[in-house]
Amino acid sequence: MVDDIVYFEDLSIGDGFDFGPVTLTREDSVAFAAEFDPQPFHLSDEAAAQTHFGTISASGWHTTALFMKMFVAEMQRNPGRQAASLGALGVDELRWLKPVRPGDTLRGTSEVIDKKASAKRPEMGIVRSKVTIFNQQDEPVMTMIPIAMWRTRPGADGQ
């Protein structure tokens, strides 16, 4: 049992936390691209040199997957948050701001920007957060707004 569950009612706009870091190896970057995004500029420096990327970069979808890896690891260090999380409806305003290169070390921040009770499903609320992923030079490489479903406090809906 988790003693200190962070329910929807416990979240406030501006609440934030950090996650990561994770370092992307060249081997992992090329393997992910070969499987899911085999565009030449994700596969070799030689091909990337012929594009505006210049040198090899990771698939943007690898960056989103690494965001999730860091985010879930942080949730699992905080069982009170994990116990209240019901997954995500989607993501708004995903932006790849700069290429992520093999060897880069990524970290992220998340901050609650909006919360809304669900009229249809009183057992959950909707929480929007602004996520920013940074590289080792503290440059933002990706931003997005995940839309999460979050458990409400039992009894809060009158049950």
| Contact flag: residue 52 with its own copies (CB under 8 A) | yes
| Contact flag: residue 126 with its own copies (CB under 8 A) | no
CA-based radius of gyration for the chain: 18
Q: Which strand ranges, in their side-by-side order, compose the sheet holding 16-23?
A: 16-23, 105-117, 124-134, 140-151
| Contact flag: residue 107 with its own copies (CB under 8 A) | no
Compute the least distance from the CB of residue 42 to its own copies, in Å: 9
Task: List, in order, residues 6 or more apart from 82 with CB less than 8 Å away.
Answer: 2, 75, 76
Candidate residues 5, 43, 65, 117; the one interacting with its own copies per rule CB under 8 A: 65
With CB under 8 A as the contact rule, which of the stretches 8-16, 64-72, 108-116, 132-140 interacts with its own copies? 64-72
Residues that bind its own copies (CB under 8 A): 32, 35-39, 41, 51-53, 59-61, 64-66, 68-69, 72, 76, 86-96
